[in-house]
Amino acid sequence: MAAASIPHDHVAIIGTGFGAIATAVRLQRAGFEDLVLIDRAEDVGGVWRDNDYPGAAVDVKSHLYSLSFAPNPEWHNVFARQPELHDYLRSVVDRFDLRRRLILGCEVEELRWDSDRQLWRLETARGPRTARHVVVATGALAEPVEPDLPGLPSFMGTRFHSARWDHDFDLAGKQVAVIGTGASAVQFVPAIAPTVDHLTLFQRTPPWIMPRHDHEISARARRIFRAVPLAQRASRAAIYCQFEWMILGFRHPPLMRLAERRARRHLESQVADPGLRAKLTPDYSLGCKRILLSDEYLPALTRPNVAVDTDGIREITEHGVLDGAGVEHPVDAIILGTGFDTLGLPLTDRIHDADGVAMADRWAGDPTAYLGTAVAGYPNCFLIHGPNIGTGHNSVLQMLESQAAYIASAIGYAEEHGLGAVQPTEAAQEAYAAEVDRMSEGTVWTAGGCRSWYLNDKGRNVNIWPGTTFDFRRRTRRFEPTAHLMEKARQGRGEQAAWVPA
């Protein structure tokens, strides 16, 4: 194919979840018209498209878990359900006229930085493309993990992951094994327990469960939010403040004991059997793993057709699960609530620098990025939900919108100053990572006595931002030239340009 026929965009955003949409709107508002959003799926929505398991809902109040520039007075519940969230994202795409920018059903297979042309070369399922800037908004929770359990592939029944729910499989009257007790399982177990004949839950670590108190938002309240947008903004601000100060507990684990007492009372009020209660009582600090909110999960575990197995899994047989005590549990289906590959961020094994080195190889299991967003050696490439962007105490959308602001600011700066390429300096990236490490010390995430997907193999926090979202917003408000290397835009082939500090 002739080079001229390769489609080129100023900005290519990969993904269509919350972060991608927030970035696209931000760039559009800054006047960047030449941008596309590319997604491997046939619809927009990211995790809220993929995680459509029974009971799926957000665990941050919806007035906060929505985009600041697209308030939704119509939220039906305090915690929106997955279909409503998915519809919301579709509606934001329409409201901000992004549909014309979508390239759906197009997997991005590889990205290579072309230092001569100062652009990214994308290999996609629909052929090559180029872009001056790429925003990798594929999310940290996009690739489901199948656990490495002996015999799992030989299981002859039905098996699927919660993020790839098999809606054609009728659970009615079936014997089911569920593996995992994280945020997803806590939602789908109570949703399917009344339907199945029997459910055995294989629990490796009990989660801390707090009351959820979900309820419908009354028609009257919705009318008020519709008529008085300020009322909804006030509600959002109140929820934000309520969550934001909770960072104190995460940073000072002894403060978490108060909340632990509340969670213990919740357990006692919902589970009468002391034996089962003992199995469900965590032995690590609350907050070390994600705090789960549910009023239905614990009661579901007390049902006569539900058993909690804590003996471990020795192997999966052709017909069931052999537990650590040597008891075989014959089942028709195994449902994996085993989480996501959060260490190898999606695509980073296929983003290559000018020398062909993949970002994931450069990281070697120890990911760092300046502001969790940009990586030295990979110019004009921005990661939405990159390293240390997750939050335990507040809505992650606060973080993603801050990243979007930084990205728009960086691309805007490059335009304004005639730059062909920008990247953070190694020093800025290292200093930032060292600061995140320092801030993580002694927090509930690193010193809370658990293993979680927030930590890498060395026990380093690579997923959580250990500060306030307010602080992160302050850091990302404006592109900081002194933390970057820059190259003037080359006007023609063969023209030289050199990396220089600001």
Residue 82 makes contact with ligand NAP by CB under 6 A: no
Q: Is the CB of residue 35 less than 8 Å from the CB of residue 23?
A: no
Q: How many amino acids of this chain bind ligand NAP (CB under 6 A)?
A: 24
Residue 183 makes contact with ligand NAP by CB under 6 A: yes
Residue 141 makes contact with ligand NAP by CB under 6 A: yes
Measured from the CB of residue 310, what is the shortest distance to ligand NAP in angstroms? 10
Measured from the CB of residue 217, what is the shortest distance to ligand NAP in angstroms? 18
Q: Using N-to-C axis directions, what is the helix angle for 219-227 and 229-244, rounded to 10°?
A: 110
Q: Is the CB of residue 462 less than 8 Å from the CB of residue 388?
A: yes
Residue 337 makes contact with ligand NAP by CB under 6 A: yes
Question: Within 271-330, which residues bind ligand NAP (CB under 6 A)?
Answer: 290, 313
Measured from the CB of residue 179, what is the shortest distance to ligand NAP in angstroms? 5
Q: Which two tokens stand for residue 402?
A: 């801050």
Q: Which of 27, 149, 239, 335 binds ligand NAP (CB under 6 A)?
A: 149
Stretch that binds ligand NAP, among 215-223, 333-341, 407-415, 483-491 (CB under 6 A): 333-341
Residue 66 makes contact with ligand NAP by CB under 6 A: no
* Residue 182 to residue 366: CA distance in whole angstroms: 24
Residue 392 makes contact with ligand NAP by CB under 6 A: no
- Residue 434, classed as helix, strand or coil, is helix
Tracing tokens 């004949």 back to the chain, one arrives at 197
Q: Is the CB of residue 31 less than 8 Å from the CB of residue 59?
A: no
The residue sitting closest to ligand NAP, measured at its beta carbon, is 182
Q: 313 vs 376, which CB is nearer to ligand NAP?
A: 313
Q: Which of 184, 440, 461, 476 binds ligand NAP (CB under 6 A)?
A: 184
Q: 78 vs 489, which CB is nearer to ligand NAP?
A: 78
437, burial (CB in 10 Å: exposed 0-12, middle 13-18, buried 19+):
middle
Question: What does the buried/exposed string (b/e) look like for 364-401 if buried means 16 or more CB atoms within 10 Å of the residue's CB?
Answer: eeebbbbbbbbbbbbbbbbbbbbbbbbbbbbbbbbbbb
Measured from the CB of residue 345, what is the shortest distance to ligand NAP in angstroms? 14
* Residue 227 to residue 10: CA distance in whole angstroms: 39
Q: 339 vs 379, which CB is nearer to ligand NAP?
A: 339
Q: Is the CB of residue 446 less than 8 Å from the CB of residue 455?
A: yes
Q: 36 vs 193, which CB is nearer to ligand NAP?
A: 193
Q: Which of 15, 17, 287, 339 binds ligand NAP (CB under 6 A)?
A: 339
Stretch that binds ligand NAP, among 2-10, 242-250, 338-346, 398-406 (CB under 6 A): 338-346
* Residue 69 to residue 18: CA distance in whole angstroms: 12
Residue 444 makes contact with ligand NAP by CB under 6 A: no
Residue 64 makes contact with ligand NAP by CB under 6 A: no
Q: 75 vs 479, which CB is nearer to ligand NAP?
A: 75
Tracing tokens 């075989």 back to the chain, one arrives at 328
Q: Residue 108's closest CA among 73, 136, 86?
A: 136
Q: Which two tokens stand for residue 246?
A: 């909770």
Measured from the CB of residue 133, what is the shortest distance to ligand NAP in angstroms? 28
Q: Is the CB of residue 178 less than 8 Å from the CB of residue 335?
A: yes
Q: At 260, which amino acid appears?
A: E
Residue 185 makes contact with ligand NAP by CB under 6 A: yes
Measured from the CB of residue 122, what is the shortest distance to ligand NAP in angstroms? 28
Spatial strand order in the sheet of 198-202? 158-161, 333-336, 175-179, 198-202, 306-309
Residue 164 makes contact with ligand NAP by CB under 6 A: no
Measured from the CB of residue 165, what is the shortest distance to ligand NAP in angstroms? 12
Q: 86 vs 290, which CB is nearer to ligand NAP?
A: 290
Q: Which of 59, 143, 166, 471 binds ligand NAP (CB under 6 A)?
A: 59
- Residue 426, classed as helix, strand or coil, is helix
Q: Is the CB of residue 363 less than 8 Å from the CB of residue 123?
A: no
Residues that bind ligand NAP (CB under 6 A): 57-59, 141, 147, 149, 162, 179-185, 202, 204-205, 290, 313, 337-340, 453
